A and B are shown apart, each in its own frame.
Chain A
Amino acid sequence: MSQDTLFDKVWDLHKVANLSGGSDQILIGLHLIHEVTSPQAFGALKDKNLKVKFPQRTVATVDHIVPTDNQSRPFKDNLAEQMIDTLENNCIEHKIKFFNIGSGNQGIVHVVAPELGLTQPGMTIACGDSHTSTHGAFGSIAFGIGTSQVRDVLASQTIAMNKLKVRQIWCENKLSNGIYAKDLVLHIINQLGVKAGVGYAYEFAGPAISALSMEERMTICNMSIEGGARCGYINPDERTFSYMKDKLCSPQNENWEKAVKWWKSLESSDNCIYDDVFRLDASKVEPTITWGITPGQSIGVNQKIPSLNEMHPNDQFIAEEAFEYMGFKPGQSIKNTPIDVCFIGSCTNGRISDLRVAAQVLEHNKVAKNVKAFVVPGSEKVAKEAKEEGLDKIFIKAGFQWREPGCSMCLAMNSDKLIGNQVSASSSNRNFKGRQGSPTGRTLLMSPAMVAAASITGKVSDVRDFVNK
């Protein structure tokens, strides 16, 4: 059993009681809600005649269902309008802070909370969304919960949960030029598999992780869940603190020093014990792309799609399904696969640094004919910053559509969807069957830079041919 890791320290700090069934009652320091997984929870509270116990510990925004073309109200989609309306009413009734469209702070919940300084080291953070693991980048213990648990947090600020084991993923050396956090996390998931993280929290560490910016760290922690780990985190360091300094909700003035001192004490101790350690060499990571229907089915851009007999027997079942769905053949190159749609955005890769990198690739280039390309900033703040830097103009000039913030085609709950069996180059997190809105649509996950490169050539390309010139 793990001891004295950041996970252990934060867990113990928030443990309220041992429940009679054997699980722990855990206090949630910050609860984030959005329109999709909260209405039924508020409904259940009403049924049980309960109130939101600590409304100041919950913050809301709207992201999943928002249109990215025309955000004027009422939304064209009646169901979407009903959902935002329900959230607005619930927030008013229960006195919950709500960052609505036009507030300047609306956006994807996992982009918004860190940029506001709501996300802080040492917190437990829960949200009815599996990518809540993102917030672990700051050394918080953050995980997705279902609607029944959203109800429990609203009612009691706690949930019943079994303590997770801790696996350290040690990333030696550094990423090479033209290789990004997305490549690294796809590589990690490929190496460990999509279910290795079940029952675990992942601690990402090592020189390659320390060298990452906070936004890159968020990309890594964001996709912990794609490796099966409900929670992923990185020990906070100077980079963490300098990112947080002077954010709207960060500690201010004399409280700042106190906070930093406490945050430093949270780090996994030198002699801490992990349940497992996995090591990899980050300098060996290539631009990585998925070829299948799970985020674990990926290869380097210059590699060939593996054949069944190269795979572990446990991986063959799902690989056969992937070949059939994707239309790829074993031994085929992924490079030069024609692309129909390019999507840059999502809680994985919709932050300002992602847009900067993509814009750098796109500058003085044009999107290939027949490719539909669009960029969806992760938040109103990201959009504003991008416009101030003139990034929107670079995207538009290259042939991208510049959209309003939201989750968009990561999960296609709005009108941004693939059509038929289109192939998308996507900076999002899931390549599941039907994920991007068409039951036969096909998704290739990759870094935003690689999406930008693919948009120019109209096919899967090696971004290093663009950035290293």
Chain B
Amino acid sequence: MRKNELGRFSDASFLILSSLANGPKHGYAMMEDIRTFSGTQLEPGTLYGAISRLEKQGWIEALPTEERRRPYRITGAGVAALREQVATLEQVASVGKSRLATMEGF
């Protein structure tokens, strides 16, 4: 995986991949979906910066334009990358939880 190539867009990329995991969406639909499930308001500059990188990585794929809106969908490689990111986050969350529990125990 080439996560480091995503630079400052790595968080936005994770949110976009998560958003596309339940079906193709165009830019504005992604922004709305991300706001709903994560509370993060992505701005268009960040969104398209991340989209261009994800496309370059081959993790998402553009679908044909529908009245100026272009939907995107996650690719097989994108699903694998998302799965890996989710596993890392779960591990981090699990360590965080157990350390919090230890701290609270004191």
Q: Do A and B come from one complex?
A: no
Residues of chain B having any CB pair with chain A under 8 Å: none
